[in-house]
Amino acid sequence: MSLLELQNKLMAIKEAGLGAIGQAASSDELESARVKFLGQKSDLKSIMGTLSSFSPDQKKTVGQLSNSVRQDLEAALKERQASIYKIELAKRLESEKIDISLPGLGRPQGKIHPLTQITEEIISIFHGMGFSVVEGPEIETDYYNFDALNTPADHPARDSQDTFYTEVDAHVLLRSQTSTIQIRAMEKMTPPLRIIAPGRVYRNEEVNARKYPLFHQIEGLLIEKNVTFGQLRGTLMEFYRLLFGRELKTRFRPDFFPFTEPSAELDCQCPFCMGSGCRTCGQRGWLELLGCGMVDPNVLNAVGIDSQEWSGFAFGMGVERVAMLKYGISDIRHFYTNDLRFLEQF
Ligand SMILES: [Zn+2]
């Protein structure tokens, strides 16, 4: 190749290279152009590799021209690189743009089960009146569940149609009332005492809107000197005033429980219709709230508390029932079917 041809070829390389670099629209295209015109296998490299075959004068001319072509291409490459970077950055910013004024996405939030909520509320009210929480086992003996509570041997509640007995031992059962906890507490503690005993209880019941074989009770027990029925009444009135957030009319009806004497059932004016009658109260205007009474002296004596010196009152309520009254729930099964549409309302 003559010197002139070589010079022409170098100028052609430069022109083609500048054209390719100028047209590159992305980093990838620019890299392809760099490899093609400045890479190890480029025409420019191979021309520079043949320099040794020229005379010194020609070598100088060709060398200078090759270098200047290389420098021009490198400068163009650098310049194009900068502008492509700007273009690509703008594109990226556009694609990653977020509108910080948009409302956030809601995250699903867990809630406390309504029965746990109401239990905590009841405990907190009695806590304020000086009662402390005591707990006991769910698997009990018939002594704590019946005998110590003054339940006669032929009482129907002892029947296996009402109570779940274990198959291993005919005296071992699932407690049917939280009164068992009160007996255990009286055995261990010395009066005066004020306790409430929350917990699960089990009864061999058919499932329907009002009954479920598993439910929760909270029982209360106060043992002090010269306790009166008036004190029991005052304690319960205050409890319901705080629970429902207003004064409710109440009435006591005589009832019978083996471990209290006298015993009573406490009704309150229906908080939904204020006594005028509605579906929740079955048009009666009154709702049954709980059972209560003065602790039978026999029960005190059985646990070694002198009934001549000490007296007390006890009361027990179903937690589901309280929750149903407070929230206007008509079916106890809602608490146990885990339907989120129900649970999310609390
Ligand atoms: Zn009513």
Q: Compute the distance from residue 344 Cα to the ligand 1 centre, in Å.
A: 25
Q: Compute the distance from residue 165 Cα to the ligand 1 centre, in Å.
A: 38
Total domains in the chain come to 2
Q: Compute the distance from residue 287 Cα to the ligand 1 centre, in Å.
A: 8
So what's the pLDDT on residue 296? 92
CATH code: domain of residue 303: 3.30.930.10
Residue type, 36: K
So what's the pLDDT on residue 60? 85
What global pTM score does this model have? 0.66
Q: Does 246 map to a domain?
A: yes
Q: Compute the distance from residue 335 Cα to the ligand 1 centre, in Å.
A: 22
Q: Compute the distance from residue 272 Cα to the ligand 1 centre, in Å.
A: 5
Which pLDDT tens digit goes with each residue over 84-98?
A: 999 889 999 989 888
Q: Are residues 84 and 166 in the same domain?
A: no
Q: Which one of 32, 61, 95 terminates a domain?
A: 95
**SS (HEC) of 297-333:** HHHHHHCCCCCCCCEEEEEEEEHHHHHHHHHCCCCHH
Q: Beta strands 139-141 and 250-257: pairing type?
A: unpaired
Q: Compute the distance from residue 13 Cα to the ligand 1 centre, in Å.
A: 98
Higher local confidence (pLDDT), 316 or 244: 316
Which pLDDT tens digit goes with each residue over 221-237?
A: 999 999 999 999 999 98
Q: Are residues 12 and 52 in the same domain?
A: yes
Can you name the residues that pair with 174 across neighbouring β-strands?
A: 139
Q: Compute the distance from residue 124 Cα to the ligand 1 centre, in Å.
A: 27
Q: Which two tokens stand for residue 51?
A: 């320099």
Q: Compute the distance from residue 322 Cα to the ligand 1 centre, in Å.
A: 14
Q: How far apart are CA 222 and CA 244, in angstroms?
A: 23
Q: Compute the distance from residue 324 Cα to the ligand 1 centre, in Å.
A: 13
Tell me the residue range of the domain where 86 lies.
3-95
Q: Are residues 160 and 89 in the same domain?
A: no
